A and B are shown apart, each in its own frame.
Chain A
Amino acid sequence: DIQMTQSPSSLSASVGDRVTITCRASQSISNYLNWYQQKPGKAPKLLIYGASSLQSGVPSRFSGSGSGTDFTLTISSLQPEDFATYYCQQSYSNPLTFGGGTKVEIK
């Protein structure tokens, strides 16, 4: 199975900050990497697919990059509604696997 490791597991940031979350795969997954946002009590929401493609309706302050084993989700200017937990997920091979999550909290 492909292991997905996210870092950090949590972070504190202020509104307006630039935030970067990293996801590393245990083997190369090309660009078969997705990012989701989840708020408490809600289902996950797709933000980025194919490592860098922004899902329709998602604000442009979110961006994704990377290929192979190392990927990054960047929020260019953190907004109050962005405080949530973020997950990466690979679709390169079954079983599909998620990272452990990164909780973004208010500083």
Chain B
Amino acid sequence: EVQLVESGGDLVQPGGSLRLSCAASGFTFSSYAMNWVRQAPGKGLEWVSAISDSGGSTSYADSVKGRFTISRDNSKNTLYLQMNSLRAEDTAVYYCARRDGYNYRYYFNYWGQGTLVTVSS
């Protein structure tokens, strides 16, 4: 059974840093690109970042570019999101999601339960 379990969410002050983790199991982690998607309280879904299966290629939403860094450790089956210079508008539930599909027909079939990041003084 595919499982994605996020951790690391917390209350942090503006300007602070946080690292989220997503532990994967039930599939060959190193064969799949992975993504982070967030959802601010009462709002819709926002794609945040993606990383290729090998980790050699990454992409970011403009809203987090230069502040967030996605990475992965395929030996530990774990995805990370390093979040620096946090702002109030980064407050959200952060989901990790496995990218399935091919040739741009991509979709998120597996999601974690989410971890809450609150940025407030």
Contacts and interface: CB of A to CB of B under 8 A. Distances in A.
Interface of A: 1, 31-32, 34, 36, 38, 43-46, 49-50, 55, 87, 89, 91-101
Contacts of B106: 32, 91, 96
B109 interface: yes
Interface residues of B, number: 21
A43 B111 contact: yes
23 contacts: A1-B62, A32-B106, A36-B45, A36-B108, A45-B111, A46-B107, A46-B108, A46-B109, A49-B105, A49-B109, A50-B101, A55-B109, A89-B45, A91-B106, A92-B104, A93-B104, A95-B47, A95-B61, A96-B35, A96-B50, A96-B106, A98-B45, A98-B47
A96 B108 CA distance: 11
Given A34-B107, A49-B101, A95-B62, A43 B46 contact: no
Interface in B92-121: 95, 101, 104-109, 111-114
B59 interface: yes
A34 B107 CA distance: 7
Contacts of A43: 95, 111-114
Contacts of A38: 45
Nearest to A98: B45
Contacts of A1: 62
B95 to A, nearest CB: 6
B107 A49 contact: yes
Interface string B35-53: 1000000001111001000
Given A43-B114, A44-B111, A95 B45 contact: no
Contacts of A32: 104-106
A87 B47 CA distance: 13
Interface hub of A55, A95, A101 (most chain B Cβ within 10 A): A95
Contacts of A91: 101, 104-107
